[in-house]
Amino acid sequence: MTNSDQLVLDKKNIDTILVLDFGSQYTQLIARRIRELDVFSIILPWDISKERILEINPTGIILSGGPESVTNKNTPRIPEIIFDLDIPILGICYGMQTLAEQFGGQVTASTTKEFGHASITLEQASILFDGFDAGSLVDVWMSHGDHVSSLPDQFLLIASTPSAPIAAMAHSKKPIYALQFHPEVTHTKEGSAVLENFVFKICNCQAQWKMGNLIEQRIHDIKERVGDHKVLLGLSGGVDSSVTAMLLDRAIGKNLICMFVDNGLLRKNEAEEVEDLFREKMDLNLLVVDAKKIFHRHLKGVSDSEQKRKVIGRTFIDIFDNESAKLKDDIKFLAQGTIYPDVIESSGSESKEARVIKSHHNVGGLPDDMKMELVEPLRDLFKDEVRKMGAELGLPLEMLNRHPFPGPGLGVRILGEITPEKVITLQNADAIFIEELIKADLYHQVSQAFCAYLPVKSVGVVGDERRYADVIAIRAVETVDFMTATWAKLPYDFLGHVSNRIVNEVEEISRVVYDISSKPPATIEWE
């Protein structure tokens, strides 16, 4: 099921913002921000057909950013049909640059790229910045190399920065607007207000899109696609696969078979906790497969991060295929809790322009010859949307509020080759960190926290003896959408206490470091 197939909606009575994707890592954030306003939004590639646009009948169009340069030949351009629809248009970053170029303006490749916080100066009033005073400074997030150096005819300068003299512009007669910065990311503090102005004051949309609508639509989609066939769900115990389980249970009931694979890369005592919750408390049809030895055998000697993800993905599928063959029922579909950040970073979106950041084991690691068809009902949702859906479906709070855990598990938190011994060491260190976060009432103040095992040895002194042992990095971030994140400013005393406990209680570790990298430029996980 492709992204565009997942939402088959009757658009006759619902306003829709169409987001044209030019390959930005932030594209889905735009749609998510629009949905937060209770307005439906759908993402389609920039080269969408005229017929498809007319079929959607959008109330407004947003042009995303992208990695290409307008100054190069054969790079994406806005379909001309867009300008014939006489509906509001908002270009963002690359969307602004190609908009300017297509209207006769000039785009220049910058000698220095601009990534991070910036302050724009509002040069004149605009409905897009309604509520802001002309001349005021607005904190925004920039991520661009090129910039518009000359305004197209009939366009007005709205905002500027020293490095981007034309940071926002608007057509003098038509509802066409453009921004060099990214209003969709949380780092642009007033970004939601700008998008809200576009959606409600320029496009005149009605707030008609609710989570209840989405749940009903997904249940309908699942029933239509699956019919009376059995579905095998790869249940990890995390939020994503758990919400997928609840959604499938609503749609197909006893035709859902949940399989939990203990891959030997889980958090401490996690296998037992998952089995207790889903089999005993939630009464789901749960199969538990002990595959620790299989995974470790396949991962032996593998140290490259991308290869590890692919090995883990392939091994999962092999196990699902083998175990499903043992079942009496014919299993046609495999369900996964894949969410959109997984797809974006694996370049699994419909856009041909997106860059691969890392292969998600559910996306980049799946083999072409897989026997079962995929069902991924959360594929176009972000983590916070998944949690909202889970709450409406009645998932227990302790599950909903749990920090995310990657599908490849500790396999992407152990740098270099994975061994059973390293897994145990990391499990013990990670358990200490999480335990202390909970005790200090900090667990729910951060969005994700974990330990990573570094392939580095360091000299330490424990008691009166020299210890030449490994290094653990602890990581905690704050984020809303997991596409951008800032490192958590945990108290120094707390960090010192965690470090002391890990070094004293985990014999294989001699040193603890704290990761203070934000996303971007780093990712949240280490691999």
Integer Cα distance of 187 and 184 in angstroms: 9
Integer Cα distance of 492 and 494 in angstroms: 5
184 tagged catalytic = yes
Query: Residues 184, 345, 385, 436: which is the catalytic one?
Result: 184
User: Nearest Cα to 486, choosing from 518, 520, 526, 442?
Assistant: 518
190 tagged catalytic = no
Note whether 161 and 150 are within 8 A (CB): no
Angle at 15 between CA 9 and CA 21, to 5 degrees: 75
Note whether 56 and 11 are within 8 A (CB): yes
Give the Å distances, CA to CA, from 452 to 94, 330, 411, 467, 509: 36, 40, 10, 20, 12
| Residue 113: strand, helix, or coil | strand
> Residue 200 phi/psi, 5° resolution?
-95, -40
Provide the strand spans (E) within 130-236: 137-150, 155-160, 168-171, 176-179, 230-234
Distance of CA 282 to the CA centre of its chain: 27
Note whether 351 and 45 are within 8 A (CB): yes
User: Nearest Cα to 4, choosing from 47, 65, 66?
Assistant: 47
Pairing of strands 486-487, 465-478: antiparallel
Residue 411 DSSP one-character state: G
User: Nearest Cα to 79, choosing from 59, 54, 104?
Assistant: 54
Pairing of strands 137-150, 106-122: antiparallel
Angle at 350 between CA 256 and CA 374, to 5 degrees: 15
Query: Residues 93, 203, 205, 258: which is the catalytic one?
Result: 93
361 tagged catalytic = no
Query: Residues 101, 114, 123, 182: which is the catalytic one?
Result: 182
Alpha-carbon torsion angle 390, 391, 392, 396, nearest 10? 90
Alpha-carbon torsion angle 23, 24, 25, 31, nearest 10? -100
Integer Cα distance of 355 and 25 in angstroms: 8
Paired tokens of 36:
């937060």
The answer to whether the bond into 183 is cis (omega within 30° of 0) is: no
Paired tokens of 416:
């270099």
Integer Cα distance of 308 and 314 in angstroms: 10
Known catalytic residues are 93, 182, 184
